[in-house]
Amino acid sequence: MPVTFELFGIARTRAGVASAQVQADTLGAALRALAEAFPALDGEIVVGDRTANGYLVSLGGERFIDDPAVALPAGSRLLLLSGQAGG
């Protein structure tokens, strides 16, 4: 099922896009698909089926998730950002 990543900060710069759609039903599968689509994220921002230390994923801007087994509802919006981002 399609899920959309919104990329912020370094992830956006490395991928060269602000958002990307991947096919996945869990967080881990979504992260693997994102790293496959954008190799510049692999190893530095996405490590296997998790984010690297210092990076966070928010499900719909409502809660942070980090368990690769978390099921994603169809049409999920995932925000990938640095945990060190300031405002």
Closest CA to 26 of 3, 47, 43: 3
pTM to 2 decimals? Answer: 0.93
Domain residue spans of the chain: 2-82
**Topology annotation, domain 2-82:** Ubiquitin-like (UB roll) (3.10.20)
**Edge-to-edge strand order for the sheet containing 55-59?**
19-23, 2-7, 77-82, 55-59, 63-65
Instruction: Kindly give the parts of the chain with pLDDT less than 50.
Output: 87
pLDDT at residue number 86: 52
